[in-house]
Amino acid sequence: MSKREHLQRMIEDLVSIPSVTESAKESLPGIWIKERLEKLPYYIEHKDHLLWVETPLEGSPEKLHSLVVRVDASVPTNRTVLLIGHYDVVGVGVYGELSRDAFDVKKMTGLLNADGEDVIYGRGTMDMKCGVVLEVDIIEEFAADRELFDVNVVAAFVGDEENASAGMRGVLPVLHKMKEEGTDFLAVINTEPGEAGYSGESGPAVFLGTLGKIMPSFYVRGCASHVSNYYGGFSSALAVSRIVSYAEGNPHFADPLNGKCEPSWICLDMGVMKKGYSVTVPDRAFAYFNCFTATDTPADVMDHMKIIAGYALDQTMAQLTESYRHMLAMGCEGKGLNVPRADIYTLEEITDIARKNYGEGFDEELASYIENIPPGDMRERGLAAVERIADMSGLEGPYAVCFFLPPWLPVRTDFTGENRDEQTIAAARSVKEHLFSKYGVEMKEIELFAGLCDLSYAGAKVSTEDLETLEKNMPGWGEIYSIPMKEMQSLGLPVINLGPSGEDAHKRTERLRLAYSLDILPELLRYAVSKISQTVE
């Protein structure tokens, strides 16, 4: 069996496991990998080099497990290259009537590959079970021939990347412990598909960083009133719609880097917070956004949020005032418009107000409330916590609270000028040169992987001030959502993403291009590990 056939069969087997994020089967690929590896002589002898790690999956009844494996070089050394990859996939609803076959590579390829291209179809073929298979193949080969590399290799196979990266966050303590015990991690390689990292492009690419993400969120408390006395109230629905219309896609809040820019803020959800029907002016509403970060810190984003909320609520009041003036002229009668100017608070500020207003026992009461929020989506749980804090503050509306919801992915770029980062860039450029000289294939070099990925947590370099801003303004930090910050900061590794080629991640037509992905990339990844060993001091 050729190397391509061997890898393709592995991909077909792994894809056949329907490891949809937050499903009961999400961790089954880890078991599949573990059962393959524990049969090898190396792991029979080194059972402690296969670590089955239960990681938190906040708000879900399902258990999540990750697998951390290690192979040591034949000549003892602390120098180590870290590989990472995720084995969860997004759901298959987009497949419609083909959903039942979405995990069957042969069926999907037969149905969708009408042109007979050198590709395979199916959920996860591209994102990212091919990358996982290529890493497993390296581990298996290295375990059989420990002279393959003169550095150790550790691989972390995780779930939940398609949701909130609970798997990667969960293995950080394991990697930190390895470092504490002497492992010298030189750099980390991820094998996410290249096309997922730069929209609209195709072909081989190497990424020397990964984009960041934060979730700016707003809670608006208005003033309730019967709709027949509309001007005696302040509609939180109107105010939140103003926030969304001002922030959505606003170029002033985008965050370009070196002449490249991802889309500006995108509202992911908004709504009025009430139960049932009522002819009452809505007094509680929310909105939260996707916000890509390349240079902006959490404090920078918070400054933007306060500007947005202040402007939007002032515009809301201006609209109400103008409406009231015109409606009076048309004969509308009722209570006069007498609503005070809206205030703007950060979550940290309103929490301090609530603590003073509620008095002794505030922290215990809030912790108890958060602990008893029913399991479910962590955004919904965070919003419930913010509403409870607002209630405990005793403040009357109108006002807005600015805060963050999970997840948070820190930006990471290798272009820092630090020695190991510079050396990793040199190693990556050697990979590019090797690809061209041996295969005649051009490779793009891109600074930030725009698809967002777990490299954020292995490579993060974040200041204490940024972390404090985040923690104090994210509801339920440590309970609803948490990151082991000390462990994350202890790694701070140079990052590379060097993955397979394909198209249409998350779509019905997701497919993997085999020529580059299975004929070239396996050798290229081995070259990359060796080059990091030679280059990074």
- 489, 497, 424, 486: which is closest to 461 by C-alpha? 489
pLDDT tens per residue across span 194-210: 887 777 677 899 999 99
CB contact at 8 A, 205 and 194: yes
In Å, what is the CA distance from 524 to each residue of 307, 337, 438, 439?
48, 69, 10, 10
DSSP state of 129: I
DSSP secondary structure letters along 286-312 = EEEEEEEESS--HHHHHHHHHHHHHHH
Percent of the chain with pLDDT over 70: 99
Rounded Cα–Cα distance for residues 322 and 329 (Å): 11
Which residue type does 19 have? S
Q: What confidence category does residue 174 fall into, taking pLDDT thresholds of 50, 70 and 90?
A: very high
Type of residue at 381 = R
Is the confidence at residue 226, as pLDDT, over 90? no
* Residue (of 78, 62, 59, 61) closest to 70 by Cα position: 78
Tokens of 77: 């050394």
Neighbours of 34 (CB within 10 A): 18
Rounded Cα gap, residues 459 and 165, in angstroms: 14
Q: How confident is the model at residue 229 (pLDDT cuts 50, 70, 90)?
A: confident
Provide the token pair at 292.
């890509």
Q: Identify whether the C-beta of residue 84 lies closer than 8 Å to the C-beta of residue 188.
A: yes
pLDDT-based confidence at residue 281 (cuts at 50, 70, 90): confident
Whole-number average pLDDT of the chain: 95
Distances (CA, A) of 174 to 69, 140, 178, 309: 11, 21, 6, 41
pLDDT digit string, tens, across residues 243-279: 999 999 999 999 999 999 999 999 999 999 988 888 8
Name the burial class of residue 45, with classes exposed (0-12), middle (13-18) and buried (19+) by CB atoms within 10 angstroms of its CB: exposed
What is the reported pLDDT for 334? 65
Determine the Cα–Cα distance for residues 69 and 48; give it in Å rounded to an integer.
Answer: 9
Question: By C-alpha distance, which of 153, 156, 151 is closest to 174?
Answer: 156
Q: Where are the alpha helices (DSSP H) in 201-295?
A: 236-247
Distance CA 233, CA 334 (A): 12
Lowest pLDDT segment from 321-335, 377-391, 506-520: 321-335
Separation CA 237–CA 224 (nearest Å): 11
The pLDDT of 174-188, averaged and rounded, is 98
11 dihedral zone (left: phi>0; alpha: psi -120 to 50; beta) = alpha
Q: How many other CB atoms are found less than 10 A from the CB of residue 256?
A: 11
Q: What would the mean pLDDT of 158-170 be, rounded to a whole number?
A: 96
- The three-class DSSP label of residue 16 is coil
On the question of pLDDT at 308 being above 90, the answer is yes
> Looking at residue 335, what is its pLDDT?
65
**How does pLDDT run across 108-144, given as a tens digit for each residue?**
999 999 899 999 999 999 999 999 999 999 999 999 9
DSSP state of 42: H
DSSP 8-state secondary structure symbol assigned to residue 350:
H
Q: What angle do CA 248, 249, 252 make, to 5 degrees?
A: 105
For 382-393, write each residue's pLDDT tens digit.
Answer: 999 999 999 999
Measured distance CA(535)–CA(424) in Å, rounded: 7
Structural domains of the chain in order of their starting residue, each with its CATH number = 3-211+411-535 (3.40.630.10), 212-408 (3.30.70.360)
| Sequence-separated (6 or more) residues with CB below 8 Å from residue 507 | 94
As a whole number of angstroms, the distance between CA 37 and CA 208 comes to 30
Contact by Cβ (8 Å): 68, 152: no
